[in-house]
Amino acid sequence: MIPIPNLNGRIDHMAFDSQRQQLYVAALGNNSLDVVDLASGQLKRALVGFNEPQGVAYVSGSDRVYVSNGGSGVVNILDANSLSTVASISIGPDADNIRYDPNLNLVYIGYGQGAVAAMNSTSQDVVGTIGLAGHPEAFAIDQPSRTMFVNVPGSGYIAVANTSTYSVLERWPLGNATGNFPMALDTANSRLFVGTRSPAELVVIDSGTGKTVTTLSIPQDPDDIYFDVGNGCIYISSGSGFLTAVKENDPSHFSIVQEVATANGARTSLLIPELGLYCVAAPGSQSSQAKILEFKID
């Protein structure tokens, strides 16, 4: 456990800087970006001046950290070495999840009442926008097919978009399930993993056809999902206080292999495969301070 002193309120998404062994934590409740040194197991710095930071991404090619601000709609770009702001780009209201595509050198930012912007990470120009019928939550990119899958929980579907034309090709409804927030992708086996909140389920979808392969019941309030290519496991962090590991036995069969307690409200997490770690952000409470929970992956 790595304590994070003076961090109050909700913690949102995280990113990892392998060069410096640093974890960047979007501390939404504090309006700060907290930098955690994983090597020493200590908080290194708490950068202030953000406005509801929600998404964060580290871009190794340019050695920059991207932070999206839900309150201002601005994406702050930081120099990872000095941690100083080098640019602030206005994207739109409720700037949220961020993903980086190194093959295309693009940073994707979900925002507003329905859009994902594609930003060139060298020029910081927005080169395209995917329009949606509701605020986007997690999204995943299939690089070989230039396809993006986007959770649109307010409209109850998954959008399938082309990242070359920035157009939505299909909309996959989720039936009676709602609250599709987290998402991960197994590109090799064409499997899309989506967490829904009502009911609380892991929905496994064929990413080629949109057909549901299977569903598994999981703890309430899933908020982050990651797929580990190395061991074929899907990890799900849930706000009800659990981390769930699901094994992909084969592309058609999945089983829950472990479920461990974390902390109430520990919704967001990050897989760091190069270190064999899974980090879960646990907010503070009246009885304990905020912390990062580190789990070793076998």
pLDDT score, position 141: 97
What number is the average pLDDT over the span 65-85? 97
Q: Do domains 1-131 and 178-298 have the same CATH topology?
A: yes
Q: What is the pLDDT of residues 239-267, one digit of tens each?
A: 999 999 999 999 999 999 999 999 999 99
178-298 has which fold?
Methylamine Dehydrogenase; Chain H (2.130.10)
What is the pLDDT at residue 285? 85
- pLDDT tens readout for residues 15-44: 999 999 999 999 999 999 999 999 999 999
Is the pLDDT assigned to residue 286 strictly greater than 90?
no
Mean pLDDT of 55-81: 97
Cβ–Cβ < 8 Å for 191, 205: yes
Tens digits of residue pLDDT in 164-220: 999 999 999 998 899 999 999 999 999 999 999 999 999 999 999 999 999 999 999
**Domain 1-131 indexed as CATH 3.40.50.1820:** no
- What's the angle, vertex CA 129, arms to CA 127 and CA 135, rounded to 5? 145
How many other C-beta atoms lie within 10 A of the C-beta of residue 125? 10
Residue 97 backbone phi and psi in degrees, to 5: -65, 145
**What are residue 30's phi and psi, to 5 degrees?**
-100, -5
The whole model's pTM is what?
0.96
Q: Which pLDDT does position 139 carry in this prediction?
A: 98
The whole-number pLDDT of residue 136 equals: 98
